[in-house]
Structure 1
Amino acid sequence: MRTASHPQTLHPALAGLALSGAVAWAAMSLGDILWLQSHGFSALTVAIVLGILLGNTLYPRLAPSCGEGVKFSKQMLLRAGIILYGFRLTFQDIAHVGVTGVVIDAAMLLSTFGLAWLVGVKLLKLERDAALLIGAGSSICGAAAVMATEPVLRARAEQVTVAISTVVIFGSLAIFLYPLLYTLQTEPAWGVRLPDFGIYIGSTVHEVAQVLAAARSIDQHTADVAVITKMVRVMMLAPFLLMLSMKAGPSVAGERGKLSVPWFAFAFIGVVVLNSFMPLPDALNKIVLQADTFMLAMAMAALGLTTHLSAIRNAGIKPLLLGAILFGWLVVGGALVNGALGRLLG
């Protein structure tokens, strides 16, 4: 009898993993479409969209048999994906943008996240977790930062999805806005010329894919600087999570009142160190990054599957308004910060 029951206990996890994996595979296939790439839509963004579509149509009938595996994808595979994300980064990246780029990145991260807390929690009266997730996505690296912050805050699925939605909406706007701003800054009427437009893009646009799409519309040099600046900003994710786990207070407490220390952030830093001084062979590194993208896509798919659109509708206009205010700060405040610090430190 025990032997017969064992597969039955495994079946929910396997079925859910298979479903999350199928959605992730479809998202990665669609993510290879040039039109989507040119508009800054990565496989991760596509995965959550597909997950939401299924989650609000077919998945409710599949949930009893797939719930365990979907939960595993949303939690454990997310953490594994964030750890492996470190293979995209090296400390040498910092040297490419110099002290100026690092300081500007840090200034934008702290100011944007602080503004999210002040406006979101104090003025708009949003739930703290919802405001902090939107702040994390806007200030660091978009959907990946939102997903990495979720285990620390133990936020609800709909809060995560709303935060990612703001990243998609305003990050997509940035793809078209920044090339226009680059053109305007060369006109006398604009009156402002930033020391390095690539650093400006990399320090203020939400997603890596969106940074690349916006910067490529200008020129290759701008794209190179923007991506490196963005990756340095991504590297700040680990210390940010550690700081959040220690400072955010009761909402990040565990079931017995202990802080939820993001252990995967330490592993993330360890992988960055390893990749900086003992990089993997190119062929192996490519395989690892493909596996990382697939795991993160599975996590995104699982998030979408467990998200109910009614919950997003119930969130109202305030999260979108907060995302818009933060986007305005990233564009206008980011230009001021880049101009001031770029000239002071450059």
Structure 2
Amino acid sequence: MQKLIETTKGLAPGMGLSVVICLAALALGQRYGAPVMPFALLLGIAMSFLAEDPKIRPGLEFAASSLLKIGVALLGLRITTDTIAKLGYEAALVVVGLLVCTVFLGLWIGRRAGWPAPVALVAASAVSICGASAALAMSSLLPAMKQYRSQTMTIVLTATALSTVGMVAYPLIVDALGFDFHQQGFVLGASIHDVAQVVGAGYSVSDDVGEMAVLTKMIRVAMLPVILLILSIHVARSEGKAGPITLPWFVVVFIALAILASAVSLPAVLTETVSHVSRSIFYVSIAAIGLLSNVQEIFQSGHRALTVLGSTTVFLLLSSILFAAILY
């Protein structure tokens, strides 16, 4: 008990600072009607000099690592097999195929841009799966990413910016193409990175488009545990671990919660509450990662992030439009 109290005291300053920045970001997001995560990131970066204090750093490290993994694990309750049935298996397979192609394209472009493979994979995951959430999940799983936190932040910021642009521009594009609500919803859900921006884009057109967009997006989100599982096995093998593969605890919890959500009809209030908790944890973690980031490295990697994520974003949008025209 005494050890727990001492550990809590050691983590409190850094955690407290991260929470304060998170609350400020929430206030700014509500005031300007903008995504909270970029505010949390930018405020954290602006106050990164505080991370030099040895009393604050342990709490920041905890928030940027262990707390982040808890948030990733809780995402599992958002995944259900009903989504595939509602969307249709043919469309679901197309979405998965686009995701896989985007991951490999993002990896290739990232490596060509001079990024190490782990950073390129995080960037590719941000575009292909679910934006900042996927980037943070992949970053928390890859041991090498601890030394590339600044690049992670640049990827998160760029992915969120591209999602916001997509939320505004993509509905105009699909409307100009004369697509029906099935096609519009498919394109929006298959090409916009973050879930919140998919919701905003879809329901800004109509309820039917919004529902279709969210269903399509959930297929991409549902692929996150699959990719985390494959990556966990790859990381274990690359580290030379013999015998059975031991998955990271947060991946196990993620998969268990996804199975639970698919097998049991959970109360909406429970899933919504857990979703809010997970999102809040991400805000606190992103503030901590911002505090731990190197500002100079962020500026140096900014053009690469825009090149890699921008290129894969355009590919995903054009491919989604093509398959929407074929499928519906």
TM-score by length of 2: 0.88
Structure 2 residue corresponding to 1:303, chosen from 289, 295, 313: 289
1:245 aligned onto 2:232: yes
Structure 1 residue corresponding to 2:75, chosen from 85, 93, 106: 85
1:128 aligned onto 2:117: yes
Structure 2 residue corresponding to 1:334, chosen from 306, 320, 326: 320
TM-aligned CA deviation for residue 33 of structure 1 = 4.2
Quickly say closer, same or farther: Cα 1:300–1:316, change in 2 above 3 A: closer
2:68–2:140 contact (8 Å) kept in structure 1: no
How is 1:196-345 mapped onto 2 (pairs within 5 angstroms)? Answer: 196-247=183-234, 253-254=238-239, 261-315=247-301, 317-340=303-326, 342-343=327-328
Q: Relative to total residues, which structure has the larger helix share, 1 or 2? A: 2
Alpha-carbon displacement from aligned partner over 1:247-279 (angstroms, at most 9, x marks no partner): 4798xx45x668884442221121012122334
- Distance between the aligned counterparts of 1:8 and 1:284, measured in 2? 33
1:97–1:228 contact (8 Å) kept in structure 2: yes
Structure 2 residue corresponding to 1:151, chosen from 135, 140, 146: 140
Moved more, 153-162 or 10-19: 10-19
- Distance between the aligned counterparts of 2:230 and 2:129, measured in 1? 14
- Distance between the aligned counterparts of 1:285 and 1:331, measured in 2? 30
Counterpart amino acid of residue 322 in structure 1: V
Q: CA RMSD in A?
A: 2.6
Share of identical aligned residues, percent? 27
Counterpart amino acid of residue 91 in structure 1: T
- Distance between the aligned counterparts of 2:301 and 2:284, measured in 1? 25
Q: Which runs of 4+ in 1 moved over 6 A?
A: 5-8, 256-260
- Distance between the aligned counterparts of 1:76 and 1:25, measured in 2? 20
Quickly say closer, same or farther: Cα 1:6–1:202, change in 2 above 3 A: closer
Counterpart amino acid of residue 93 in structure 1: T
Counterpart amino acid of residue 224 in structure 1: E
2:171–2:205 contact (8 Å) kept in structure 1: yes
1:137 match: 126
Counterpart amino acid of residue 136 in structure 2: M
TM-aligned CA deviation for residue 213 of structure 1 = 1.8
TM-aligned CA deviation for residue 314 of structure 1 = 2.4
Counterpart amino acid of residue 79 in structure 1: K
Where 2:55 maps in the other structure, the secondary structure is helix
1:245–1:262 contact (8 Å) kept in structure 2: yes
Structure 2 residue corresponding to 1:48, chosen from 36, 41, 44: 41
1:129–1:159 contact (8 Å) kept in structure 2: no
2:166 match: 174
TM-score by length of 1: 0.84
Counterpart amino acid of residue 22 in structure 1: V
Structure 2 residue corresponding to 1:27, chosen from 16, 25, 28: 25
Figure out how many residues of one structure are paired with residues of the other and give that number: 322
TM-aligned CA deviation for residue 207 of structure 1 = 0.4
Where 1:64 maps in the other structure, the secondary structure is coil
TM-aligned CA deviation for residue 195 of structure 1 = 5.5
Moved more, 261-270 or 235-244: 261-270
2:103–2:128 contact (8 Å) kept in structure 1: yes
Quickly say closer, same or farther: Cα 1:304–1:296, change in 2 above 3 A: same
- Distance between the aligned counterparts of 2:32 and 2:186, measured in 1? 25
1:241–1:262 contact (8 Å) kept in structure 2: no
- Distance between the aligned counterparts of 2:323 and 2:141, measured in 1? 29
Alpha-carbon displacement from aligned partner over 1:200-227 (angstroms, at most 9, x marks no partner): 1111111011111222232121111101
1:108–1:204 contact (8 Å) kept in structure 2: no
1:65 aligned onto 2:55: yes
Moved more, 129-138 or 328-337: 328-337
Alpha-carbon displacement from aligned partner over 1:34-84 (angstroms, at most 9, x marks no partner): 722xxxx2x3333222222222x5x245x3111111111111111111111
- Distance between the aligned counterparts of 1:116 and 1:221, measured in 2? 31
| Structure 1: gaps (5+ residues) | 187-191
- Distance between the aligned counterparts of 1:53 and 1:291, measured in 2? 25
